[in-house]
Amino acid sequence: MKIFVYSYREFDEAEFFQKFSKEYGVELGICKDAPTLENAHLAEGYEYLSIITTKIDAQLVERFHELGVKMISTRTIGFDHIDLQAAKKFGMSVSNVSYSPECVADYTLMLMLMAIRKMKRIMQRAEINDFSLPGIQGGELHNFTVGVLGTGRIGRAVIRDLSGFGCRIYAYDAYENEEVKKYAQYADLDTIYKECDLLTLHMPLEAENAHLLNAAAFAKMKDGVVIINTARGGLIDTKALIDALENEKVGAVGLDVIEDEFGMYYYDRKSDILSKKDLYILRGFPNVIVTPHMAFYTDQAVSDMVKNSLLSCILHSEGKEDPWKVF
């Protein structure tokens, strides 16, 4: 079994790739860089690829198809960075991975608490020995009505954790889950927008829900609503969010993802001029926390991501059922 790995990271993934490739008898091809048209030829002779969150556009899919690649496995839950139509056109399978939902659930709760306790401003003031109190009085989570949009594994973990804080919880999903009903009430979006003090997003990004939170949605929400997004940046219309922050419709935001983040996160760009005006604007607000797509990033999750990417390729090669197969 041969698998070619792009974006191979020595500092965190390497130990797990070596462990699991040995355990499963996999021969690895390794490239530390993201896949491009210029380095695609390195995958020649490999039918299976393991990638991470880098753009795989139609041209790149076609090039890999020419090289004999049968499947692309992304070491992420999301797969919107892969041109799925192109993959289908060339008969190439795509899979994602699963990992413990606790990593993102923990991070989500952390962002919620930081947002409602105004932790960004508290920490900024403390750095310059400003220990005054005006402007940093926070809220208590048990007083919040929270709307959880998306009740997959991560959304369910967030709901379970929130129940311990004593919140009133609403949930939204196309498919209702009985476990969720122990802690939350399913409702339509308009009800959630009207009733909730805080919204947290846990959906995959699809054409149908792109810019789910847009100007019209913000207009239906309570004044001072708190928005948390640890899912996908494209679920929120960034310009509408900025407007809602400026007119104080939105009271606080915690973002682990933003629109158009490809090619930026996970790289050292401190000396570069970034063409990300919206990012600069968002970071300038005292009530907005922006982190670089880190919610997943724990030792357990990295191990799960590597292991399940390799297993997905192995299962596909053996013609067995693959729980991570997208198509």
For residue 51, how many other CB atoms are within 10 A of its CB? 23
User: Helix and strand tally (H, E) in the chain?
Assistant: 11, 12
Q: What 8-state DSSP symbol labels residue 167?
A: -
Length of the chain: 327
Strand order in the sheet with 225-229: 185-186, 168-172, 145-149, 198-201, 225-229, 250-255, 288-290
Sequence-ordered strand ranges (E) for 43-103: 48-51, 71-74, 93-95
Q: Which listed residue (13, 62, 259, 261) is catalytic?
A: 261
Q: Which listed residue (293, 316, 318, 321) is catalytic?
A: 293
Q: Which listed residue (75, 153, 232, 316) is catalytic?
A: 232
- Considering only CA atoms, which of 222, 234, 229, 241 is closest in space to residue 148? 229
Strand order in the sheet with 2-5: 27-30, 2-5, 48-51, 71-74, 93-95
Residue 176 among the catalytic residues: no
- Considering only CA atoms, which of 73, 59, 82 is closest in space to residue 4? 73
Nearest-5° angle of CA 65, CA 67, CA 69? 55
Residue 232 among the catalytic residues: yes
Which residues form the catalytic set? Answer: 232, 261, 293
